[in-house]
Amino acid sequence: MSLKDPSLLRQAALVGTRWIEADASTGIAVKNPATGELIGHVPKLGASETKEAIDAAAVAQKAWAARTAKERSAVLRKWFELMIENKDDLGRILTMEQGKPLPEATGEIVYGASFVEWFAEEARRLYGDIVPGHQKDKRILVMKQPIGVVAAITPWNFPNAMITRKAGPAFAAGCAMVLKPASQTPFSAIAIAVLGERAGLPAGLFSVITGSAREIGAELTSNPIVRKLTFTGSTEIGAELYRQCAPTIKKLGLELGGNAPFIVFDDADLDAAVEGALIAKFRNNGQTCVCANRIYVQDAVYDAFSEKLAAAVGKLRTGNGFDEGVTLGPLIDQAALEKVEEHVSDALKKGGRVVSGGKRHALGGTFYEPTVIADVTPEMAVAREETFGPVAPLFRFTDEDDVVTQANDTEFGLASYFYAKDLSRVFRVAEALEYGMVGVNTGLISTAEAPFGGVKLSGLGREGSKYGIEEFTEMKYVCLGGI
Ligand code: ADP
């Protein structure tokens, strides 16, 4: 595996103003999930390094916020350009540690960079308000100020984009960030930091701390200098971090689990629905929080849809993400594989029928066959829990109200999708789905221009879009009297 610029694969953490090199004997070993091969080590850091980074961030943040928005924008623009220039190397590092096919990994780099580009532009549009006053001699001003030092904790499924989606708006708003990336995929985060330095992010503004999640997390959540925590990961850990942040009343941004319904009505364009289902279900091998988890198909088109979907799934190719033509990589680890297996065996035990796949892949390791299961019912585990793997469970329904009720019958509320042509139905269903996001006649909804986020146990706040930057600001009301 060769990189055009090998210095992007750095076995070190960026702590405040200094790099700490990894030591192979004490560091965390990072392995390629497709082959089990060792990629390298990152330092195993803890509370003291995290505190050091937070202190450095507090200093750097003040100077950064004092710059003009245009100056901040220029640094972010440069950072974006460096990401695009190095997208092939960044994609390779991502495939190596995460497993997704190389074209998909490079796609993530471009997608991730788009948040930095977008927020480089938004930096200059962080407008306040002048509000009509309540007394003749008074004027009311509302200004938006950076919230200060931000802590970020990110997952392994999008090792690049989950970081840029947070760092872009944070830096645009004038904040500093201390990041704890997932231990499975730290090299993508470190490469972003290397490019950040080259782009001119001032020393101390951005730290990447690798090591014990519990220890680093405890410092990030308890340190009073940190004013906001932005987290993407499981609802369970999100709730724990929420609790830990309570004593210091931090602002929270939480992007948590989902259990996305994907509804195919009988007036849908079936070929388009199959294409959408493939993207919504099998992207990243089913390991995204917006992946279709429950596919509801109306009676009249159920058989036709399942046949078409099984045929399309049959064309997917599982393998090492570096191999030409591979569309699905491995699952991230053994635990992920076991969860997928449990969900499938539970469904089969309760009357589900395998239409395609249904078992571990002949490649071994953590590879699993892309799977379609028909005759799925609400009693099965796949109906309630996020599978986070390449399994498409098909439910049959007859009635619109009933399917909306079923779709909403979950504690989660992140993404939802449906395919229909009737305009009244499109509005009715889009309004009735209790989700932060609804894809209508599309399986791909994420983009820098749109507000990404969930309701209920799927989280708090929105990322991306013109709203995303607000999450990193505080409003200040200034009352001018004696005029
Ligand atoms: P996933 O299933 O995506 O791994 P997790 O919620 O377990 O979701 O992990 C998401 C991120 O949260 C990772 O960076 C992980 O290291 C981190 N994390 C896990 N447990 C804790 C914790 N107790 N405190 C802080 N961060 C944690």
Per-residue pLDDT reduced to its tens digit, 365-401: 999 999 999 999 999 999 999 999 999 999 999 999 9
DSSP conformation letters of 95-144: HHHH---HHHHHHHHHHHHHHHHHHHHHGGG---EEEPPSSTT-EEEEEE
Residue nearest to atom 19 of ligand 1 (CA): 213
User: What is the Å distance from ligand 1's center to 108 Cα?
Assistant: 21
- Per-residue pLDDT of 227-277, as tens digits, reads 999 999 999 999 999 999 999 999 999 999 999 999 999 999 999 999 999
pLDDT at residue 15, as a whole number: 98
Q: Is the CB of 244 under 6 A from ligand 1?
A: no
Q: Is the CB of 28 under 6 A from ligand 1?
A: no
φ and ψ of 147, to 5 deg: -70, -25
pTM for the structure as a whole:
0.97
Q: List the structure tokens of 454.
A: 């969930």
Mean pLDDT, the chain, whole residue set: 97
Residue nearest to atom 7 of ligand 1 (CA): 234
pLDDT at residue 397, as a whole number: 98
Atom of ligand 1 minimally distant from the CA of 238:
6
Could you tell me which of 18, 53, 50 has the C-alpha nearest to residue 216? 50
Q: Which residues pair with 42 in a beta bridge?
A: 28
Confidence of residue 127 (pLDDT cuts 50, 70, 90): very high
427 pLDDT higher than 80:
yes
CA 202-204-208 angle, to 5 degrees, is 115
Helical (H) or strand (E) element with 416: strand 415-419
User: What is the Å distance from ligand 1's center to 237 Cα?
Assistant: 6
How many other β-carbons are positioned within 10 Å of the β-carbon of residue 300? 12
How many other β-carbons are positioned within 10 Å of the β-carbon of residue 475? 11
Q: List the structure tokens of 43.
A: 């330092």
pLDDT at residue 367, as a whole number: 98
Which residues, other chains included, contact 150 with Cβ-Cβ below 8 Å and sequence gap of 6+? Answer: 166, 170, 175, 176, 177, 178, 226, 227, 228, 229, 230, 472
Q: How far is CA 465 from the centre of its chain?
A: 15
User: What is the Å distance from ligand 1's center to 233 Cα?
Assistant: 6
CA dist., res. 140 & res. 272, Å (int): 52
How many other β-carbons are positioned within 10 Å of the β-carbon of residue 7? 10
**Mutation test of ligand 1: which of 153, 212, 221 has the most ligand atoms closer than 8 Å to its C-beta?**
153
Please count the residues of the chain: 483
User: What is the Å distance from ligand 1's center to 156 Cα?
Assistant: 9
Atom of ligand 1 minimally distant from the CA of 180:
14
Is the Cα torsion angle 191, 82, 92, 6 positive or negative in sign?
A: negative
Atom of ligand 1 minimally distant from the CA of 220:
25
Helical (H) or strand (E) element with 179: strand 176-180
Helical (H) or strand (E) element with 31: strand 28-31
* Helix 213-222 × helix 235-245 angle, to 10°: 40
User: What is the Å distance from ligand 1's center to 155 Cα?
Assistant: 7
HEC secondary structure over 282-296: HHHHHCCCCCEEEEE
pLDDT at residue 431, as a whole number: 98
440 pLDDT higher than 90:
yes
For residue 129, give Cα distances in angstroms to 66, 73, 125, 151, 307. Answer: 20, 21, 12, 28, 56
**Mutation test of ligand 1: which of 178, 179, 237, 388 has the most ligand atoms closer than 8 Å to its C-beta?**
237
- Per-residue pLDDT of 181-223, as tens digits, reads 999 999 999 999 999 999 999 999 999 999 999 999 999 999 9
* Mean pLDDT in residue range 345-364: 97
User: What is the Å distance from ligand 1's center to 189 Cα?
Assistant: 15
User: What is the Å distance from ligand 1's center to 243 Cα?
Assistant: 14
Atom of ligand 1 minimally distant from the CA of 332:
4
1 pLDDT higher than 80:
no
Q: Is the CB of 222 under 6 A from ligand 1?
A: no
* Mean pLDDT in residue range 49-63: 98
Could you tell me which of 123, 437, 441 has the C-alpha nearest to residue 290? 437
Residue nearest to atom 14 of ligand 1 (CA): 182
Q: Is the CB of 74 under 6 A from ligand 1?
A: no
Chain position carrying tokens 């004490």? 26
Is the Cα torsion angle 231, 207, 168, 332 positive or negative in sign?
A: negative
Q: Given the residues 122, 255, 386, 400, select the one marked as catalytic.
A: 255
pLDDT at residue 192, as a whole number: 98
| List of E strands, 46-102 | none
179 pLDDT higher than 90:
yes
pLDDT at residue 104, as a whole number: 98
Confidence of residue 298 (pLDDT cuts 50, 70, 90): very high
Residue nearest to atom 22 of ligand 1 (CA): 214
71 is catalytic: no
CA dist., res. 470 & res. 162, Å (int): 17
Q: Is the CB of 182 under 6 A from ligand 1?
A: yes
Asked if 44 contacts 30 with a C-beta cutoff of 8 angstroms, the reply is no
ipTM (interface predicted TM) = 0.94
Q: Is the CB of 234 under 6 A from ligand 1?
A: yes
Could you tell me which of 335, 241, 252 has the C-alpha nearest to residue 287? 335
* Mean pLDDT in residue range 298-318: 98
